[in-house]
Amino acid sequence: METQAGLCAELGLQQPVIAWHTIRDNIAEVGTFLGLVGGTLGKLSMDVKLLMQTEVAEAFEPFHHGRGSSSTMPQKRNPISSCYIHAAISVVRQHAAALLDAMVADHERSTGPWEIEWIVLPEAFCLMAGALKQSLAVLEGLEVDTAAMRRNLGLTHGLVMSEAVMMGLGPYIGREVAHDLVYDLCRDALKQQRPLLDLLCENAEISRHLDREALAKLCDPVNYLGQSGLMVDRVLARMPV
């Protein structure tokens, strides 16, 4: 035990309290942690891929000449890094499951399960290293088109702000009544292909309480960000300088 304690101290490791041969939870914990990190990176890469679609075009991976173009469609700008990230973390997720399976060992010296670790754990680290490198490159060079974001918010001609309108009307006519009224007006706006604001202003029940200027403020997404800014600031405040 003294030799073990000295070696662990020299290596900066904790001394195990019992033989580790069939106690594989530490190894599995490392693998599942890599899987969790991969899940976070996968969410990031998925959003970037969706935001780069032609129909959305709100954010893009950093541009380099020739990068992301198709061999047959030169106009394309493919999410190369995000594709690599998605592929890597998908394999790591399966490796994490394999490490959990490796915990089920027979007696005190397993015949097969722990060899799973030799195969999947090194590869999981390699894949996550690549995914992290690609994610860093995406975040450092991410291109954001705020004009496209604002334009997309206007695609529904105000319907996206129906909740804000409902909440604004609630103090005057009650939340449930406001919900049903705005719901019906949203259906009418879709049928008539008209801005929601116009229908709100034309409704006698609503115009008795709110004029066009007040309704326009409720229909403006800029006025309905809630706690988003505060939450972003709180996250950034925890980041190391």
* DSSP per-residue string spanning the chain: -HHHHHHHHHHT-PPPSS--TT--HHHHHHHHHHHHHHHHHHHHHHHHHHHTSTTT--EEPPP-TTTT--SS-TT----HHHHHHHHHHHHHHHHHHHHHHTT---TTS-SSHHHHHHHHHHHHHHHHHHHHHHHHHHHHH-EE-HHHHHHHHTTTTTGGGHHHHHHHHHHHH-HHHHHHHHHHHHHHHHHHT--HHHHHHH-HHHHTT--HHHHHHHT-GGG--TTHHHHHHHHHHTS--
Which pair of structure tokens corresponds to residue 134? 């690609």
Output the pTM of the full model: 0.84
Domain ranges (residues) in the chain: 2-145, 154-223
- Residue 21's nearest CA partner among 120, 101, 114, 121 is 114
pLDDT tens by residue, 117-171: 999 999 999 999 999 999 999 999 999 999 999 999 999 999 999 999 999 999 9
Which sequence positions are flagged as catalytic?
Answer: 70, 109
pLDDT tens by residue, 32-42: 999 999 999 99
Q: What is the pLDDT of residue 119?
A: 94
Place domain 2-145 in its CATH homologous superfamily. Fumarase/aspartase (Central domain) (1.20.200.10)
Q: Supply the mean pLDDT for the chain.
A: 94
Structural fold of domain 154-223: Ribonucleotide Reductase Protein R1; domain 1 (1.10.40)
Q: What is the pLDDT of residue 77?
A: 85
Phi-psi region of 138 (alpha: psi -120 to 50; beta: other; left: phi over 0): alpha
Average pLDDT over residues 38-65: 95
Contact 28, 105 (CB under 8 A): no
pLDDT tens by residue, 64-95: 887 777 778 888 889 999 999 999 999 999 99
Q: What is the pLDDT of residue 73?
A: 82
pLDDT band at 96 (very low <50, low <70, confident <90, very high): very high
pLDDT band at 112 (very low <50, low <70, confident <90, very high): confident
